[in-house]
């Protein structure tokens, strides 16, 4: 039987991958083991992403996977992006989250919707790691109802726009150079009057708040942003005037696919840490792994990991072929995020007090896991999106 080559000496199903995805996975795994894993605990304790890792990720060719080579990228697809996200997150989920927001929510959105001028201006620095990117949609009063509750406005001013408002809980924001920002450009049109912009955070009128103290994902700095009459040109519009809702929703659907790699990496990390521990830790004169109730938890973790990985790679392949429904990636993240959260809970349980130690790996994984059922739309909102999508697909078939 083929194994995933976990490096821990035990068999994990080797879900078939394309040769390109397999190669990039090997490269990303080697990079993550060498550069990230040894620093994962330190990244969590410091609550800070080490600045030297960003250019290293760029040099390794991992920051612009879906960007065309003419802008410095690798010209690959979402399957490759997903497996790289998985390997980075397996080493440090917080760093993986920072990576996702930069390489997908910011870089991929610019690669998809940017004009040639925007791509030439913005992508090389983001792809080589000299700049950090983020995406700002959430506001203090606009969370799950992000379009309906949005108050940030970009009013016409001279030859461009004047951006005013507040964004909240934005990953990478305290150190971001470039942000994709959503704002109302025609308040009378509701969600059809929203536009996306690319904003250089050095502009006058942009204030980046400090990093918030968070439950988990501590190495990924998250903060608020204030825009006070920041001037933007028409060349900062991303995807056209009043096209923001489509840009945001299509972006979220793809982001949920790649974000699944983060939950997968976390699931794998749970097994990486608990299996060797259960084999070594002895109680009642035997390794705890010899007790069937312990084996049951490990078996559930392995089954969840194999099911999640098979589902994710199949979905990425389908997505790459342009097939499937827009809500498919939402269903995928819904499933894998909840399996990852369950595995993290069991990782703490399996290691007892050693897992409860604040500096232990299970404790970090448990805290980080809660983001996967909250960010990119909560589990509740994902169920609503999938339920509604199923209903309308079924109604469309019967008409
Ligand atoms: C660490 C972190 C990083 C983040 N990074 C970013 C980022 O980079 N960019 C960005 O734009 N945003 C970011 N966010 C924000 C994130 O997208 C929101 O937190 C998320 O969309 C949920 O919004 P909320 O927190 O305001 O929760 P609320 O919308 O206030 O929801 C609270 C609860 O009510 C439930 N609820 C709400 N509406 C319904 C409904 N209709 N039916 C049933 N239940 C409902 C929710 O499921 C949830 O359980 C981040 C958040 C966190 C925690």
- For residue 322, the model assigns a pLDDT of 67
Shared-domain flag, residues 50 and 163: no
Does the annotation count 255 as an active-site position? yes
Shared-domain flag, residues 384 and 258: yes
Ligand 1 pocket, 377 CB below 6 A?
Answer: yes
Domain count, the chain: 3
Q: What is the distance in A from the centroid of ligand 1 to the CA of 144?
A: 5
We report the CATH number of the domain holding residue 31 as 1.10.540.10
Shared-domain flag, residues 231 and 271: no
Ligand 1 pocket, 101 CB below 6 A?
Answer: yes
Q: What is the distance in A from the centroid of ligand 1 to the CA of 26?
A: 34
Shared-domain flag, residues 181 and 239: yes
Q: Which two tokens stand for residue 391?
A: 């209903």
Ligand 1 pocket, 106 CB below 6 A?
Answer: no
Shared-domain flag, residues 318 and 349: yes
Residue 4 included in any domain: no
- For residue 321, the model assigns a pLDDT of 66
Among 180, 378, 383, residue to substitute to test ligand 1 (most atoms within 8 Å of Cβ): 378
Q: Among 98, 132, 166, which residue terminates a domain? A: 132
- For residue 5, the model assigns a pLDDT of 44
- For residue 11, the model assigns a pLDDT of 59
Q: Which atom of ligand 1 is nearest to the CA of 146?
A: 21
The pLDDT profile of the chain, 399 residues, written as one tens digit per residue, is: 344 444 444 557 888 899 999 999 999 999 999 999 999 999 999 999 899 999 999 999 999 999 999 999 999 999 999 999 999 999 999 999 999 999 999 999 999 999 999 999 999 999 999 999 999 999 999 999 999 999 999 999 999 999 999 999 999 999 999 999 999 999 999 999 999 999 999 999 999 999 999 999 999 999 999 999 999 999 999 999 999 999 999 999 899 999 999 999 999 999 999 999 999 999 999 999 999 999 999 999 999 999 999 999 999 998 876 677 889 999 999 999 999 999 999 999 999 999 999 999 999 999 999 999 999 999 999 999 999 999 998 888 777
Report the alpha-carbon distance of residue 336 to residue 306 in Å, rounded.
11
Q: What is the distance in A from the centroid of ligand 1 to the CA of 267?
A: 22
Which stretch of DSSP H or E encloses residue 346? helix 328-356
- For residue 6, the model assigns a pLDDT of 45
- For residue 10, the model assigns a pLDDT of 56
- For residue 3, the model assigns a pLDDT of 41
Shared-domain flag, residues 103 and 147: no
Ligand 1 pocket, 327 CB below 6 A?
Answer: no
Report the alpha-carbon distance of residue 386 to residue 69 in Å, rounded.
35
Shared-domain flag, residues 209 and 327: no
Report the alpha-carbon distance of residue 288 to residue 282 in Å, rounded.
6
Q: Among 132, 148, 178, which residue terminates a domain? A: 132
Shared-domain flag, residues 323 and 377: yes
In 3D space, the residue among 134, 101, 49, 89 whose CA is nearest the CA of residue 261 turns out to be 89
Q: Looking at 80, 255, 282, 359, which residue is catalytic?
A: 255
Q: What is the distance in A from the centroid of ligand 1 to the CA of 373?
A: 9
Q: What is the distance in A from the centroid of ligand 1 to the CA of 301?
A: 27
- For residue 13, the model assigns a pLDDT of 83
Q: Among 110, 132, 154, which residue terminates a domain? A: 132
Ligand 1 pocket, 290 CB below 6 A?
Answer: no
We report the CATH number of the domain holding residue 275 as 1.20.140.10
Closest-CA residue, ligand 1 atom 12, reads 138
Q: pTM of the prediction?
A: 0.96
Ligand 1 pocket, 374 CB below 6 A?
Answer: yes
Beta bridge partners of 230: 163
Shared-domain flag, residues 210 and 344: no
Q: What angle do CA 317, 119, 83 make, to 5 degrees?
A: 25
Ligand 1 pocket, 181 CB below 6 A?
Answer: no
Q: Reduced to 3 states, what is the DSSP secondary structure of residue 34?
A: helix
Q: What is the distance in A from the centroid of ligand 1 to the CA of 170?
A: 11
What would you measure as the largest C-alpha separation in the chain, in angstroms?
79
- For residue 7, the model assigns a pLDDT of 47
- For residue 9, the model assigns a pLDDT of 45
We report the CATH number of the domain holding residue 168 as 2.40.110.10
Report the alpha-carbon distance of residue 332 to residue 382 in Å, rounded.
10
Per the structure, the complete domain to which residue 45 belongs is given by: 19-132
Among 144, 148, 151, 330, residue to substitute to test ligand 1 (most atoms within 8 Å of Cβ): 144
Shared-domain flag, residues 366 and 283: yes
Shared-domain flag, residues 218 and 85: no
Ligand 1 pocket, 134 CB below 6 A?
Answer: yes
Shared-domain flag, residues 127 and 141: no
Q: Which two tokens stand for residue 14?
A: 């080797």
* Cβ-count burial 191-227 (b if 16+ within 10 Å, e if not): bebbbbbbbbbeeeebebbebeebebbbbbbbbbbeb
Ligand 1 pocket, 143 CB below 6 A?
Answer: yes
Residue 1 included in any domain: no
Residue 146 included in any domain: yes
Q: Reduced to 3 states, what is the DSSP secondary structure of residue 244?
A: helix
């Amino acid at each position: 039987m083929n194994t995933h080559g976990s490096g821990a000496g035990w068999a994990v199903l080797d879900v078939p991958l394309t040769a390109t995805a397999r190669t990039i996975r090997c490269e990303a795994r080697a990079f993550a083991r060498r550069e990230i894993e040894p620093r994962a605990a330190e990244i969590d304790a410091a609550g800070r992403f080490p600045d030297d890792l960003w250019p290293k990720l760029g040099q390794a060719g991992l920051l612009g996977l879906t960007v065309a080579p003419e802008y410095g990228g690798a010209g690959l697809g979402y399957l490759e992006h997903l497996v790289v996200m998985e390997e980075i997150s397996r080493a440090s989920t917080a760093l993986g989250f920072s990576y996702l927001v930069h390489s997908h929510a910011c870089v991929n959105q610019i690669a998809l919707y940017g004009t040639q001028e925007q791509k030439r201006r913005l992508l090389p620095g983001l792809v080589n790691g000299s700049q950090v990117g983020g995406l700002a949609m959430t506001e203090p009063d606009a969370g799950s109802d992000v379009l309906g509750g949005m108050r940030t406005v970009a009013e016409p001013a001279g030859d461009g726009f004047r951006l005013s408002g507040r964004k909240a809980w934005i990953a990478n924001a305290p150190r971001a150079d470039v942000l994709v920002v959503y704002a109302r450009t025609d308040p009378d049109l509701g969600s059809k009057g929203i536009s996306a912009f690319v904003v250089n955070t050095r502009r006058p009128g942009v204030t980046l708040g400090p990093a918030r103290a968070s439950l988990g994902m501590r190495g990924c700095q998250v903060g608020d942003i204030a825009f006070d009459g920041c001037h933007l040109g028409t060349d900062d519009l991303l995807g056209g005037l009043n096209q923001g809702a489509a840009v945001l929703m299509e972006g979220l659907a793809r982001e949920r696919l790649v974000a699944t790699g983060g939950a997968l990496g976390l699931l794998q990390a749970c097994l990486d840490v608990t299996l060797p521990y259960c084999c070594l830790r002895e109680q009642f004169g035997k390794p705890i792994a010899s007790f069937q109730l312990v084996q049951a938890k490990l078996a559930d973790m392995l089954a969840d990991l194999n099911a999640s990985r098979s589902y994710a790679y199949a979905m990425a392949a389908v997505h790459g072929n342009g097939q499937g429904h827009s809500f498919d990636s939402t269903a995928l993240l819904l499933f894998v995020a909840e399996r990852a959260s369950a595995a993290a809970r069991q990782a703490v349980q399996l290691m007892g007090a050693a897992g409860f130690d604040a500096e232990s790996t299970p404790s970090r994984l448990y805290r980080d896991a809660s983001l996967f059922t909250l960010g990119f739309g909560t589990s509740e909102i994902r169920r609503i999106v999938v339920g509604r999508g199923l209903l309308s697909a079924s109604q469309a078939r019967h008409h």
